[in-house]
Structure formats: structure tokens, C-alpha cells
Amino acid sequence: MNIYNVTDIIYLNRFLIGLLLLAVLGSELDASRLTVNQELSNLFNEFWTLDVNRMQPGVDYSILVQGKAGYVSQGSNVARDRASQPLFSNVNETKLGLIPTFSRFLTLLDNYEMSTGVAERISPEEVAENNLFLDAVMETEVMKRAQRYLVGKGKSSANARQFRSQLYLIWFQLYHRERNAGMDSSGFEHVFVGETKSGTEIIGFHNWLQFYLQEKHGHLDYKGYKAREQDIPDQDDHVLNLQFSWHGLVKPVGSAFVGASPEFEMALFTVVFLMNTQRSTAVLVNIDQCQMELVVIRHGRSLGTAYPRLLSSNSRHLLRSPAQ
């Protein structure tokens, strides 16, 4: 005697199909989990070693990470301050002024409109400043190593002038970030200077030196670090996830290298940009004592945004089992 009726069989079939779909989805999710890109990790550690212009913690600058910032929803401009003091207690500006890439980088930070939707007006003098900065970057061993790698991969030309033009297109070419607006943004502005969108939120702003200068001039207030419980940052960390307000707007979670030279960051993100064709790319790498995702989003042939997302510091990722 058959104890199952037609309805039971239909529901059983649906249940089995659901289990099958979950199994397939689970396998796809497991397959999509990022694994460490060892080739790029090796390359970027070469960059790290070659970055002789990097500022040294406790010597060239000092930071106070203080308290852990709380949750702030995107678009909210109310954040509890977990840091009573600035993030940077000092930076050796004299040394910065003696290093060509840093000194020329500093001249670029006031060349942009803060808000998207407002067309940029780049003067001939500002174009000249961009070119002087790129000239200095091209002379560094970090960028020379990046070029050799990209030439070997067929992504760049060995000709210095053509490679420089490629860098200009990626970083300095103006484009529309806001619809129905003029040329209001560029990769350099978004990543290194920071922007505001519709007067309600901070976008971009992933550079430590801009952070320091805006904090120094009273435009920025550090609210505290963002990290998992087991990854409390310290004053020697070269990558930080953090929360801050800028001109009254709050960035719930931002991230930046700390102390790194502009040529190091440009070389790093240029490689990730050119080695991938997807609009959005995340690469998992180990650099020095940190494990991080490097996130790059394209805007056509130019850079939309790029930033590090710190996962662990002080080699803590090496202490975890593979299952974790």
C-alpha cells in the first residue's frame, strides 16, 4: 500500500530540489572565496622593500590609535567619538619636503573641487604640477619595478613616455562621476584627496598624508579604529581601517596605508588595475606583516577607486589554522 499521496510527493520533490540548489550555491560560494595571490604578494613585498621613501613609525611620524569606533550607518553623520586626541601626534614635514615624490604630491592636494557634481577646472599650472609629480614617480625604483612586471605581462609598454601616458590616463584623466555633471572627478582625486557626494557622504579619501593635513588644519576628526577583536592595531601598523568625520560628514569605515610613499600606492594599484579587466576587483595579498584585500574599481580606462581593506596585522594571519 502506498502511504504517500500526490501532495506529499510534490513537497518532497521541492524539498530535494531546494537541497540541491543549496549544495550548488554553497560550492559556488566556497569556490568564490578569495585565496592569497602569492605572485602579487611576492611582487608587492618587493615594492615594500624598494620603497625607500616610506616614512617610519616612531621616527618620521607617530600615531595614537586610541579606541574602537562604533557602528555608523552609511549616510548618518552622527558618530560617537572614541578618540579624544588626533590620530597623528606628529609627522616630520621637513623630511617630506626633501623627498621629490612627497613634496610634489603635496602640491596636488589643493587642485580639486571637494564635491562631485562640480566640474573640475584644471589650470595649465596644475597640469604642470601633475606632470612634475609623475616625473618624480617614474624615477623611483618602485615604479620602475612595476613597469618591468607589467611589460612582462604584456600590459604596458617598455617605452617610458608611453608608460607615463598610461599612468596619466589611469590616475589623472578627468571623467564624470555624477550624472548630468561636468568632468568632476579623477582616480587621483578620489583616492588621494577625497570627495563628498551630494553634500551627504564622504567618498574615497584613502591617503594618510591627506588625513594628517586635514586633521592638522581642523577639518577632520578621527573617531577611532575599526577592527575585529583579535586584531587591535598599534602604532607600528602600516595599514589602518578607521572612522572619521570631514567637514561635518562621517565616513563610517575608511582605510589607508600609513607612512607609505605615493609611488608605492600608485604602483600597487596600477598593477591590480591593469592585471584585471573586471569593473570591480579584490585581490588577497600578504604584505610585510599584514594580510589585506586590495580593492580596485574601474571607471572605463581610468581608476574609479582603490583602497586596502586590512584583514589582519602583526602576522596574526600566520597563526590561524587553514580552517579559519
Contact criterion met (CB below 8 Å) for 313 and 289: yes
Residue 190: active-site member: yes
| 99-to-45, 93, 189, 221, 261 alpha-carbon distances in Å | 22, 10, 21, 28, 10
The CA-atom distances, in angstroms, between 35 and each of 2, 30, 150, 209, 265 are 51, 11, 22, 31, 22
The distance of Cα 36 from the centroid of its chain, to the nearest Å, equals: 17
For residue 206, indicate whether it is catalytic: yes
Please answer whether residues 201 and 281 qualify as being in contact, where contact means their C-beta atoms are separated by less than 8 angstroms: no
Q: Which of these is catalytic: 206, 226, 299, 317?
A: 206
**What Cα–Cα distance (Å) separates residue 107 from each residue in 131, 215, 295?**
12, 17, 26
Distance (Å, rounded) from C-alpha 40 to C-alpha 112? 32
User: Taking the CB of residue 303, how many other CB atoms lie within 10 A of it?
Assistant: 26
Question: For residue 237, with 0-12 CB atoms within 10 Å meaning exposed, 13-18 middle and 19 or more buried, which class applies?
Answer: buried
| Structure-block grid coordinates of residue 22 | 543549496
Residue given cell 589611469 in the structure block: 170
Query: What is the distance between the alpha carbons of residues 295 and 274, in angstroms, rounded to a whole number?
Result: 13
Other Cβ atoms within 10 Å of 19 Cβ, number: 10
**220 forms bridges with which residues in the sheet?**
246
Q: Of 190, 223, 238, 317, which one is the catalytic site residue?
A: 190
CB 61 within 8 A of CB 55: yes
The active-site residue, picked from 238, 251, 299, 317, is: 251
Q: Which residues are catalytic?
A: 190, 206, 251
